[in-house]
Structure 1
Amino acid sequence: MSSKIYFNTGRRLSLRRMVTGMATTLHHRLAPRHAKRVARDLLLTPQRDQRAITAPAGLSEQPLATPQGEIMTYRLGSGPVWLLVHGWSGSARQFFPLMEQIAAAGFTALAYDHPAHGQSAGRHGHLPLFLRTLETLLEHEAPPVAVTAHSMGAAVVLSSHHPALAGVPLLLIAPVLDYVPQLYGMVARSGYSMPLFKAVVRDIEEEFQLPLANLDPLGQLLARTSPATIVHDRGDRFAPYLDSARAAEQGEHVSLITTEGLGHGRILASAPLFSAIGHLRQTL
């Protein structure tokens, strides 16, 4: 979804929500096909990450042609593959500081831009598309020995049943775990027409043969047996901290590192995360 809605968790501007609901509902009734095209542009267009982050020395950038469109991959170091998966409206460049640490420890840090993100092709994005892209990438790479994922990237990784991810230790940063209910809740709070949104979702489900109801990142995390470490800020406004706390409470293999005052983005360059990276690499 557009970050204007995906990251809109406030409950203010009730008048704007009411007007949005009336306008999108009327549009859907009068011109359903056009309304769906407009909705796809609004709800499924991420913001390109424009932050200036210096690339590490030795970083290799290489495009990969996939059925989902050309994506850009980033590789640093040598040795076993350590995969990094970013979230909505993010990019692989967010991981550059982590990639330097991973490469220095004797691994190949491999990251990529989701479709419609960073330097990858595409205009629209959504979880089924990201899931298929991840699985295409895994077919072209050696199986990873560890996976780090941020935000919605965690939902993508946990939704995959690719054998290359089975038994792989996970490091999840501010993960979106209760993805589908949170998605629908955010759209509802925005005031956008739910029938119109559901029509867009049905088109995606038919195209990818993947009902969203089948996606349960939290359930998949709890069903895994390999170690999973979550680093999450208690005050995160975008990915509910309580879902991570619940996962750590219910899953014996899930551990939680709680931070304070780092939010959803600054946590990516924080000492607690770097410490978690160091601990995980010692176990591999």
Structure 2
Amino acid sequence: MSSKIYFKKSRGFDVRRKLINLTTSLHHRLAPEHAKRMARKVLLTPVRSKKMVAEPMGMEKKTIATSEGMLMTYSLGEGPTWVLGHGWSGSSRQFFSLMEHIAASGYKALAFDNPAHGESEGRFGHLPGFIAAFDSVLEQQESIAGVVAHSMGGAMVLESRHPLLQDKPVLLVAPVLNYTENLVSTVAQSGYSMKLFHEVVDDIAEQYQYPLESINPMDRLEGREAKAVIVHDRYDRFASYTHSELASANQHVTLIATEGLGHGRILQSDQLKSGFDLLIKGEH
């Protein structure tokens, strides 16, 4: 259900959107606690992808204990570690092609399924939980060489304050740099009761001590000093290319623009591999 909210853009008057607003608002008025429980299911339940992708030869899978439950990790190759984080309703399987490239370049690629995604535990997903899971993965590494992140995973990485990230390069794929604005506007466009939405968000903010208004991936990216490469399709319907273009005005940020790859196919592109090559250039 949540993917239909977050990944469907509506334009103009929409009868279905109006009905959703009327029914969720009425539900909230008549049975507020039940309405909030239902809202958590609708707003925080990602779609677990059932798409089968052949695992690369030599791939190692292992579950690890984190603050967000048991997470499935996938590692390939030997050498300095690049950590890969996916976005909403995604999974590590989206990275298999890039992981092969990273391994062939003399590094270890380590991906993980976020809570309630892929083969990891969990029922609900949200950005504070993503960040906590990511930090837990980093805690179990002695060092890292860099990070790759897709979509909402980009906000996860940029919002993390983990010390291992301090001077490390990042490869951002179709990042949602205007995360808060994008989240609020897409839920509003869906017609869902904004009062219910804010109650659910406020509960998460209190649990994780992470207010929604404090989330600003664009500012975090601009404040970094390490190199960053963004690979983004000009016509991405789900993550703002314009914000990636604005970010590229910073000297430490390089933008690789694509066309016709959208929000998902870009993960299998040669341009993405070129973005990784650009970050490691000169290290060998």
Same fold by TM-score, threshold 0.5 exceeded? yes
Aligned twin of 1:271 = 270
- Tell me the amino acid that sits aligned with residue 179 of structure 2: Y
Post-superposition shift, 1:275?
1.4
Which runs of 5 or more structure 2 residues have no equivalent in the other structure?
none
Aligned twin of 1:127 = 127
TM-score by length of 2: 0.97
Aligned twin of 1:185 = 185
Which runs of 5 or more structure 1 residues have no equivalent in the other structure?
none
Aligned twin of 1:50 = 50
Whole-Å separation in 1 of the counterparts to 2:114 and 2:12: 31
Whole-Å separation in 1 of the counterparts to 2:282 and 2:98: 17
Report 1:94-105 matches (<5 A). Answer: 94-105=94-105
Aligned twin of 1:68 = 68
Post-superposition shift, 1:88?
0.5
Q: Kindly indicate whether the alpha-carbon contact (under 8 Å) linking 2:130 and 2:156 is maintained by their aligned counterparts in 1.
A: yes
Q: Kindly indicate whether the alpha-carbon contact (under 8 Å) linking 1:178 and 1:216 is maintained by their aligned counterparts in 2.
A: yes
Whole-Å separation in 2 of the counterparts to 1:56 and 1:146: 21
- Tell me the amino acid that sits aligned with residue 164 of structure 1: L
Post-superposition shift, 1:160?
0.5
More displaced stretch, 113-122 vs 134-143: 134-143
* Residue 28 (structure 1) aligned with residue 23 (structure 2): no
Aligned twin of 2:6 = 6
Aligned twin of 2:253 = 254
Whole-Å separation in 1 of the counterparts to 2:68 and 2:233: 33
Q: Kindly indicate whether the alpha-carbon contact (under 8 Å) linking 1:143 and 1:165 is maintained by their aligned counterparts in 2.
A: no
- Tell me the amino acid that sits aligned with residue 217 of structure 1: P
1:258 counterpart SS class? strand
- Tell me the amino acid that sits aligned with residue 267 of structure 1: I
Report 1:128-167 matches (<5 A). Answer: 128-167=128-167
Whole-Å separation in 2 of the counterparts to 1:270 and 1:12: 34
Structure 1 residues 122-157: Cα deviation after superposition (integer angstroms, max 9, x where no partner): 111000001011111111112211111100000000
Q: Kindly indicate whether the alpha-carbon contact (under 8 Å) linking 2:49 and 2:89 is maintained by their aligned counterparts in 1.
A: yes
Whole-Å separation in 2 of the counterparts to 1:94 and 1:190: 27
- Tell me the amino acid that sits aligned with residue 210 of structure 1: Y
Q: Kindly indicate whether the alpha-carbon contact (under 8 Å) linking 2:228 and 2:279 is maintained by their aligned counterparts in 1.
A: no
Amino-acid identity (%):
53
Aligned twin of 2:228 = 228
Question: Which consecutive aligned stretches of 4+ in structure 1 deviate over 3 angstroms post-superposition?
Answer: none
Aligned twin of 2:195 = 195
Post-superposition shift, 1:11?
1.5
- Tell me the amino acid that sits aligned with residue 32 of structure 2: P
Whole-Å separation in 2 of the counterparts to 1:18 and 1:112: 38
Q: Kindly indicate whether the alpha-carbon contact (under 8 Å) linking 1:86 and 1:152 is maintained by their aligned counterparts in 2.
A: yes
- Does the C-alpha gap of structure 1 residues 46 and 13 become closer, same or farther in structure 2, counting only changes over 3 Å? farther
Whole-Å separation in 1 of the counterparts to 2:12 and 2:121: 35
Whole-Å separation in 1 of the counterparts to 2:213 and 2:160: 14
Post-superposition shift, 1:13?
5.9
RMSD (Å) for aligned C-alpha atoms: 1.1
Whole-Å separation in 2 of the counterparts to 1:22 and 1:66: 40
1:65 counterpart SS class? strand
Whole-Å separation in 2 of the counterparts to 1:153 and 1:144: 17
More displaced stretch, 76-85 vs 274-283: 274-283
Q: Kindly indicate whether the alpha-carbon contact (under 8 Å) linking 1:48 and 1:90 is maintained by their aligned counterparts in 2.
A: yes
